[in-house]
Structure 1
Amino acid sequence: MSEPILEFDDVSIKYRTRGGGAVHAVNEASFTIGEHEYFGLVGESGCGKSTIADSVVGGLDENGEVTSGAIRFKGTEIQDYSEKQFNKHIRWKEIAVIPQSSMNSLDPVMKLSDQAIEMAKYHTDLSKREAVDRLRELFGVVGIPESRIHDYPHQFSGGMQQRTIIAFSLFLRPSLIIADEPTTALDVIMQDQILDYINALKDDWDVSMLMITHDISIVFENCDTMAVMHGGQMAESGSVIDVFDRPRHPYSILLQNAFPDIRYPDRELAVIDGYPPQLTERPDYCTFADRCPWATQECYEGAPGPETVDGNPAHRAWCIRADEMESLAEEHLTASTQATNILEETHE
């Protein structure tokens, strides 16, 4: 087991609202990312993924705060860092971000080479020429002609802008890159290319990755370890192999079965009915209970803690019925497929 780069230890985050209330966006989240490890964080919109990413780089909105728990980067707690401390010790130097929208992340009125010079001015001792040379080198890494370093962002396509952001994320040689929905708004061909470039970094650069996405298949294909979130709570964490082969949280199971699988082209896809909770109060129950086919009264009587799966301490599920889920899910999904087949036969 490698030394941890990033540790989330029972972290809770809330946002204050104008009316004096609060939104409890993240509740007692825990996970660890090791050196040279690609970690995927999966969940639907609003579950708290991007809030976690923002908290790591001190990017929470003014009304957001870490209310409990610890965020440790290379063993040092950073959740209470000031803006000055984040700028001096964390942002870009140690942790870089590939955001959802590259178009909003590049200065539209500055040439890309000038943006590299500006970054070098504030964070390094590189000369202007050295900064431009480094950007030229990184353009080669992400497959953009080196001659384009003096262009403006608007002269690039969306895919090229996203690759430019990847180049800038590597500029200061960080230890951790946070990729927040890095393929959003790109066509499927360009999505595949961007993921190829991100994966290539693992072999050529000494870097760890926190990849945030709503698409569980992207994590299965590109990450080593992962966690699944729902409604501000952790649902399951472990290696991608463990979560893929032996999911034990209801949300993980239904989410995985909601995606097509080329191995089972005739399989009936699962449907997750209902809506996530609003989280205007700190949840003292399982936030998936209202949508869960296997919920019991006990699920509403306390927030679930992590349960070790099959004696594997690296694979955990935040579900009181984790030990039963394999057989329960098999019965439920088989029954759903049979009901669908009967309905189709009736209409023929």
Structure 2
Amino acid sequence: MTDPILEFEDVDIRYRTEKGNDVHAVNDASFSINRHDYFGLVGESGCGKSTIADAIVGGLDANGEVTSGTIRYKGEEIQDYSEKEFNQNVRWKEISVIPQSSMNSLDPVMKLSNQAVEMAKYHTDLTKTEAIDRLRELFEVVGLSESRIHDYPHQFSGGMQQRAIIAFALYLRPSLIIADEPTTALDVIMQDQIIDYINGLKDDWDISMLMITHDISVVFENCDSMAVMHGGQVAETGSVVDVYDRPRHPYAILLQNAFPDVRFPDRELAVIDGHPPQLRGEVDFCTFADRCPWAQPECREGAPDAQAVAGDDDHQAWCVRADEMEELAAEHLEPKAEEESILGGGE
């Protein structure tokens, strides 16, 4: 079995407020990413996905803090690193980020070549010529003309800026890339192109990736393993095949069935009623309980523990009714007989 490159173990993250009513953004979250694995982290806005990404690179806001649990990168705990330690040991050279908005990530008054030289100056021993040559090589990797390296960001379209960001994310040859909603501001055609570029990196570069998105279909199509989050809690983890074929957390099931499937255009989509919870005070309950059609009193009496699905420790669901969910969901969603069910797995 491959050693994990990143391990999240029982991590809590809080944001302090002036009124002392802390926001518990992430609660007892656990997952791991293997080397050379594309891992998807999916969930609706506000569930804690980007907070997890910020914690990995030491980028939490001043009022944010990892209050418990362990974050390991290549076996070394990093959750208590100082700013200096993150800069020296983690950021860019080991873990880089493709952010949501490229326009807010590139310095608007510096040519891209100068930005590359600055990065090389602080993190490498490359000469100025070598630094610029490396950017040329990476522009070719992401489908940009190397003649554009001396342009300013405003001279690029949104899609070109996003490709430039990917080039900078690769610049120091990191082992892990965090792609945080990398296609949010792009049209559907450019989204497809950017995802293709990201997927192409896997064969040509020895990297792992944490892909953060609200679109579960993007994860199913492009990742190897995944975690589903709701309300600051990890709901389910496993390979994309297992979570697609055998989802066992109610939120994972409903989220999957809320997306249309071109194979079954007449199928009625699932609806997730209610609103995400306000995560104030101790979160000692299942955060999906108030929205779950299968909730029981015990769901509100304590945070759920992980349950191995069908005895498989690599596929886990944080639900007290995980063992019953295939039958309960099949009855509730009433899939048509001629469809290949995505709840219990097809042939």
TM-score (ref. length: structure 2): 0.96
Aligned position for 1:174: 174
2:281 corresponds to 1:285: no
Q: Deviations over 1:222-280 (max 9, x none)?
A: 00000000000010000000000000000000000000001111100000000011111
Distance in 2, matches of 1:328 and 1:336, equals 15
Aligned position for 1:341: none
Distance in 1, matches of 2:73 and 2:92, equals 14
TM-score (ref. length: structure 1): 0.96
Aligned pairs (5 A) from 1:153-168: 153-168=153-168
Distance in 2, matches of 1:169 and 1:300, equals 42
Q: Which has the higher helix share?
A: 1
Give, in angstroms, the shift of residue 219 of structure 1: 0.3
Identical positions, percent: 78
Give, in angstroms, the shift of residue 21 of structure 1: 1.5
Distance in 2, matches of 1:182 and 1:282, equals 32
Amino acid paired to 1:75: G
Name the SS for the 2:293 alignment partner. Answer: coil
Distance in 2, matches of 1:282 and 1:87, equals 32
Q: Deviations over 1:91-114 (max 9, x none)?
A: 001000000000000000000000
Distance in 1, matches of 2:27 and 2:298, equals 19
Amino acid paired to 1:314: D
Distance in 2, matches of 1:172 and 1:162, equals 17
Distance in 2, matches of 1:336 and 1:20, equals 51
Distance in 2, matches of 1:301 and 1:212, equals 30
Amino acid paired to 1:297: P
Name the SS for the 2:334 alignment partner. Answer: helix
Give, in angstroms, the shift of residue 2 of structure 1: 1.2
Once superposed, what is the RMSD of the aligned Cα atoms? 1.1
Give, in angstroms, the shift of residue 311 of structure 1: 1.2
Aligned position for 2:147: 147
Aligned pairs (5 A) from 1:1-348: 1-334=1-334
Q: Deviations over 1:30-84 (max 9, x none)?
A: 0000110000000000100000000000000000000000000000000000000
Number of residues of Structure 1 aligned to a counterpart in Structure 2: 337
Q: Which stretches of structure 1, 4 residues or longer, exceed 6 Å deviation after superposition? A: none
Give, in angstroms, the shift of residue 335 of structure 1: 8.8
Distance in 2, matches of 1:132 and 1:24, equals 43
Change (3 A) 1:71 1:153: same
Q: Deviations over 1:187-237 (max 9, x none)?
A: 000000000000000000000000000000000000000000000001000
Aligned position for 2:341: none
Name the SS for the 2:52 alignment partner. Answer: helix
Amino acid paired to 2:285: Y
